[in-house]
Amino acid sequence: MNDNEVKRSTISLQGAHHIADVPRRIFGSFIEHLGRSVYGGIYEPEHESANEHGFRGDVLDLVKELGVTCVRYPGGNFVSNYRWQDGVGPKNQRPVRRDLAWHTTEPNQVGLDDFYHWSKAAGTEIMMAVNMGTQGLQSALDEIEYANGAPGTALADWRVANGIREPMDIRMWCIGNEMDGPWQVGHMSAEEYAVAVERTAHAMKLAEPGLELVACGSSSASMPTFGTWERTVLTRAYDYLDFVSCHAYYFERGAKSPQDFLASGENMKHFIATVAAQADDAKAAHQGDHDIALSFDEWGVWYQDDWNRQEEEWKAQNRVLHNEPWPTAPHLLEDTYTVRDAVVEGALMIELLAHCDRVRSASRAQLVNVIAPIMTQNDGPAWKQTVFYPFAFAAHHAVGDAFAPTIHSSQVHTESYGDVDAVRAVVTFDQQTHSGCVLMVNRDMQHTTELQLDLQDLLSNTQFTEIIADEQVLLHDDDPYATNTIEHPDRVKLRTLDITASAEHPAQFTVTLPEESWAGFAFHLV
């Protein structure tokens, strides 16, 4: 709680440096065949809002409101035991399979054809993941031909026969998922995966040179091979790779203290720096002509201890052979997010944008029901979790170029990272529309910060004389554990940010950021 002492900080564009253009893919998300993410999430043919393909219209509306640009599919751990061929063609002819990743039954009523229709309705790009656990090179090549091939070949004609004449034009492909993890079907050593990804990526680029290919990085920074895995894989396969994946999840009980949890962005910064250094070393080793970018294609808050407990209980109950069927679309990983979780996710988005020179794609994991900003009830309503709000504001307003402002902030002490700035921020500005936004977070659990925001440099050497506020929002609650639920879907909403323009200086503002809060300020020049 606030102890009534107000801290002082400043954010200024004077001395700020240009980071990079804001890649639209940084506002991506992730849908995996896991729990109710697909069945009962995006897909429910009997729902009153369902469209002709069986997808929930209320969920599609929320996805558009969230501003998601690119969706990674179909996994995740699921993909390593998945046969993409099972999910195309007439639904009454598709086989039912066991999914080894999540111990469930997969009915295959949604697959590549269907997800293509969903993505068109949602207005999102597809980031496709291929199975490197039980399949590999030939399956990947076949899937590319099926998805992207012009009519006239066997697999492209199969797509046409299934009702999709036009090529899907899927450009971004993940070559497996978390292949370093012993939980992964077909997991490999770094050396084994390096050989496999080099062969597969080489063949995929022969098939379509314009593809953008993502190699698996470490599945987390806590893996004992973190860093050396990336070095081994990227050095071997550098010539054919465009991205390396990064995965990082955070939750309060996984941090040394609540204050450390609020400072989770410090861990993300270290993650980005470590992987970027390995990518640069691979480029230098090859005297290369391109940078390998980072695809932070799994990030967010996930209460992993809850899942680990469920997993151990499942294993304990199944130490003998049995004939019981595995469940279909059970309630798994349906975390309920707090205000504190949303502040952390807002801070993580700031870090992604602050490093968008290297992070050129990101997928907030996941999208619906499973560790998700959007929740649904079967045959019932859909609603927004707390984490919906900072993502949506950034996705809609962070356009153009990103800038790292000069920040003078009070400090907070953490056990994991030492003393860190209480305030983190990033500024974006679009020269075409003369509009921009500031994303800010106060990571201090105890103190309100009175912030002086100076955007005067945006007016320098222009015909513009004033900055006009378009939207000013605050995410904060006196109860940091407040949540949105089906009974109370609007318990947590955005408030109006307390921001006041200076009477003497039209581009300077005073902003009040309460303890552990996130804020967004969108504006335009006149």
3-state secondary structure of 114: helix
Question: How far is it, in rounded angstroms, from Cα 441 to Cα 509?
Answer: 16
Instruction: Write the CA distances from 398 to 67, 403, 470, integer angstroms.
Output: 11, 11, 13
**Helices then strands, each counted (H, E), the chain:** 11, 24
* Cβ proximity of 109 and 43 under 8 Å: yes
- Quick one: how far is CA 480 from the chain centroid? 23
**Strand 243-250 versus strand 212-215 pairing type:** parallel
SS3 243: strand
Cα distance between the two ends of the chain:
40
What does the alpha-carbon distance between residue 206 and residue 188 come to, in Å, rounded to a whole number?
Answer: 25
Q: Which residues form the catalytic set?
A: 178, 298
Kindly tell me the burial class for residue 410, based on how many C-beta atoms sit within 10 Å of its own C-beta (0-12, 13-18, 19 or more).
middle
Q: Rounded CA gap, 126 and 120, in Å?
A: 9
H or E segment and range at residue 275: helix 265-286
Cis peptide before 74 (omega within 30 of 0): yes
Element (H, E) at 189: none
- Owner of token pair 């729990």: 35
Report the 10 Å Cβ neighbour count for 381: 11
Burial 96-113 (b: 16+ CB within 10 A, else e): ebebbbbbbebbbbbbbb
Concatenated DSSP letters of 340-402: HHHHHHHHHHHHHHHTTTTEEEEEEE-SBSSS-SEEE-TTS-EEE-TTHHHHHHHHHH--SEE
DSSP secondary structure of 480-510: TT-B--SSSTTSS--EE-EEEE-SS-TTEEE
CA 363 to chain centre: 2
**CB-CB contact of 36 with 370 (8 Å):** yes
Specify which residues 189 forms β-bridges with: none
